[in-house]
Amino acid sequence: MTVDAASAFKYEKLDAVTPLDRVIFGSADPFALAQRDEETIRLAVVRDAVDFHAARDPSYRRWLTSAAVGVDELQSVKDLDRVPQLPTAIFKRRNSPLVHSAEARPSRSSGTLGTVSAVWRDHTTTQRLLGSVKAGLRLIDSWYEDEVHVVNLGPDRQEAAGLWFAYVMSLLEIVFPTTHCVKADVFDKTATLQKLSNALGAAPSVGVVGPPMLVADLAATALRTRWSCDADRITVVTAGGWKRAVGEALARDEFDDLVCRAFGVSDPYRDVRDAFNQVELNTVLFECRARRKHVPPWVHVTVRDPVALLPVAPESYGLLSYLDASASSYPCFIVGDDIGMLRDGACPCGRIGRTVEILRRVRRDESWGCALKMDSDVVR
Ligand SMILES: [Zn+2]
């Protein structure tokens, strides 16, 4: 099904009156700010978010109080490391203590531990999530908004409603002309290659978006059937990781090689990118040309020791945790599910800023130690 971006569901910017919405939806590139400006904005919008959630959610307010952190104490971005963060176990509880408004709807995803997270998102929160996707696409040089047709290797929004990553990818139809390729759980590779040919006939460039396993499957089918297209008209954006197909995961250079040969991509650093998200996080992080995932100013990242949860030394590996100011329907202040590293400063892509490297998912024994302790100690 092809959905015209202008029809069906209008992409609706929020009133750009708050500093946060100016950063997310404004015309300035949020990844091109001077370091000092970025830190000033980050401190302001995260402080506002802490204040907002403390006022609306008694459970989070108790947590702030017990951690002896008040908004007045948050005077620099470094102070933000002290803001209490929720273990994702909170979202996996049948009866979460978090407040959610009547209009919010749950986004669900089964996590690494096999349990299901339910994260309540309202309209504003979802619009900002989509805003983070639009902002992140600025990192892809070949993605010109008015010239791209998206081929989504997933279902449309209606069918994707219960599947977090498929849902995030289906949101692209709000912004770009989009063709969805999964119907009733079936991914027909031959039909998808035909849709890809049609999209190439309809637009100067095509964005192929999907989990790496499906992209690799499609690329292998393209090679086998001698499907071909003009060089350098396709940009591939993967998201969601290999999940259950982890045993079949290709190394990055093997994946690049396959995709380049199948889809006529000459420079994988320009046209093969990955994006990161977990259901509890309201921002999608995209890779730049140097394959580093840039963090926008509305997200503060702290890398913590998995046991003590204290911040680790700069450029050390630890548990990635986030203060994401973009969620209004729940406090998106979370200890994440991944081990990784934060870098700050000049990126080889030419931008100055923070980037994260995702190393791997947390193992069961690592996460339960800290998450359950925090859960039972503080949140009632
Ligand atoms: Zn970069």
One digit per residue, the tens of pLDDT, for the chain of length 380 reads 333 333 333 444 555 568 999 999 998 999 999 999 999 999 999 999 999 999 999 988 998 998 889 999 999 999 999 999 998 888 887 777 776 666 777 777 765 555 677 888 998 999 999 999 999 999 998 888 789 999 999 999 888 876 788 888 898 898 899 999 999 989 999 999 999 999 999 999 999 999 999 999 999 999 999 999 999 999 999 998 887 777 788 999 999 999 999 999 999 999 999 999 988 999 999 999 999 999 999 999 999 998 889 999 999 999 999 999 999 999 999 999 899 999 999 999 999 999 999 998 887 665 544 444 444 444 43
pLDDT for the residue 245 = 72
191: CA distance to ligand 1 center in Å?
35
346: CA distance to ligand 1 center in Å?
8
pLDDT for the residue 290 = 97
353: CA distance to ligand 1 center in Å?
8
295: CA distance to ligand 1 center in Å?
10
219: CA distance to ligand 1 center in Å?
27
71: CA distance to ligand 1 center in Å?
31
d(CA 174, CA 241): 23
Q: How many CA atoms lie within 13 A of 235 on its CB side?
A: 26
81: CA distance to ligand 1 center in Å?
23
CA–CA–CA angle 133, 135, 141 (5° rounding): 100
278: CA distance to ligand 1 center in Å?
21
What are the angstrom distances between the C-alpha of 272 and each of 187, 256, 266, 346, 376?
21, 7, 10, 22, 43
pLDDT for the residue 113 = 52
d(CA 9, CA 355): 33
Residues 276, 246 contacting (CB under 8 angstroms) = no
pLDDT for the residue 365 = 62
342: CA distance to ligand 1 center in Å?
12
293: CA distance to ligand 1 center in Å?
7
pLDDT for the residue 10 = 45
283: CA distance to ligand 1 center in Å?
17
d(CA 248, CA 221): 16
pLDDT for the residue 247 = 77
6: CA distance to ligand 1 center in Å?
32
294: CA distance to ligand 1 center in Å?
6
47: CA distance to ligand 1 center in Å?
26
26: CA distance to ligand 1 center in Å?
21
> Could you tell me which residues come within 8 angstroms of residue 170 by beta carbon, excluding any fewer than 6 positions away?
152, 154, 155, 156, 157, 160, 178, 180
206: CA distance to ligand 1 center in Å?
23
- What is the 8-class DSSP label of residue 245? G
